[in-house]
Amino acid sequence: MIVCFDIGGTAIKGAVAYAPDDIRAFPRRPTPGDDFDAFVETLRAVIAESGGTPACVSISIAGVIDPDTHRAIVANIPCIHGRTLSADLAQALDLPVIVANDADCFAIAEASIGAGQGHRVVFGAIMGSGVGGGLVIDGRLINSDGGFAGEWGHGPVAATTAGHPPVAIPPIPCGCGLKGCIDATCSARGMEKLHSFLHGETLTSEEIISAWQDGDPMAARTIEILVDIIASPLALVINVTGATIVPVGGGLSNSPELLEAIDVAVKARILRRFDRPLVVPATCRVEPGLIGAALLGLRVSGETS
C-alpha cells in the first residue's frame, strides 16, 4: 500500500493505492502555500487517514525537480519552491518520498493504463492553460530523477508565419522568459491571444472552438493558424523520440475535432507513416496526476520491497 498525492496551488488531492486498479481517493484539502509545516501536517493527516504505514509516499506536483540540485521549481506553492522536496518530506514524514512533475504523471498513467497501452514509446502531451508533456519509454519515465525532458512547450520555435494564405505571427512573450514558445502561442491562453491578434476580438478558447465548430470563418482561421503552428514542433518531437502514440490531456483535448485536425497536420510532417490516429484524446480523464503518482509509487514499492 502507498499513499499518493496530486498537489496544485489551491488543492491537495490524496489517495491510498493498493494496486493500479485499486486507488481510493480522499476528500481534497486546501494547499498551505506559504507554510511548510502546515503543508507537511496536511500530508501527514492524509497518511494517517490511510489506516496503515505506507511503503512510500508518491507526489505529483505542478512543477519540476531540477536534476542537478534536486530542488523543486514550483512557482505557485512558495513553501516548497527551492526545497530539496523529496529529501525534506522524507525526513519530515519518516517515509520514502517520490516527487514527479504532473505532466510526467499524466504520461505514465496514459502509457500504463490509458491510450498508450501496448506502445514502447509514448509521448503524453498537455494542451491546456499551458503546453507540456512527458516521455515514457518501455514503461519508464525518462524523467525518473527529475528534469525537463518532455517540455516541448518552451523554446522560441513557434513559426513567425503560418496559415494559408500565410500571415505574420508576432513572437508572443512566454512566462518562462522567452518569446515565441508553443506554450505562449498554442495553449488555451495562446489561442485567445492569437485570435485577438488576428481579428481584434476577445473570446475564450472554449468560445473560439465552439464558433469554429459552428462554421464561423474568423474562428476557423484562428484554428487553422494554430494547427499550422503547433504541428511542426510536435512532428519534430515524434521524429526525435520515435513515439508511436501521443495521448493529449488538458482543456483543449476536450475538442476531438481539434485533435483530429492536429493529428492530420502532424502525420503529414513526420517521417514514419501511420494509417491510424497518432495524436489522440487521453483516456485517463479523471485525476491523471493522482493515477500517475500512484503507479510510480506502486512500482517503486514493488521494486524495493
Instruction: Delineate the domains of the chain, giving CATH numbers in brackets.
Output: 2-105+286-304 (3.30.420.40), 115-281 (3.30.420.40)
3-state class of 167 per DSSP? strand
Q: Is the pLDDT of residue 173 over 90?
A: yes
| Strands, E assignment, the chain | 2-7, 11-19, 22-25, 29-30, 57-61, 64-65, 72-73, 97-101, 121-127, 131-137, 140-141, 161-162, 167-168, 246-249, 279-281
- pTM score, whole prediction: 0.93
Mean per-residue pLDDT, 160-167: 96
Cα gap 284→76, rounded to integer Å: 25
- Residue 18's nearest CA partner among 305, 284, 297 is 297
- Amino acid at position 242, single letter: G
Q: Is the pLDDT of residue 305 over 60?
A: no
Helix ranges, 60-115 (H):
85-93, 102-113
Q: What's the pLDDT at 303?
A: 45
CB atoms within 10 A of CB 65: 23
Cα gap 123→207, rounded to integer Å: 28
Q: What's the pLDDT at 54?
A: 94
Q: Is the pLDDT of residue 70 over 80?
A: yes
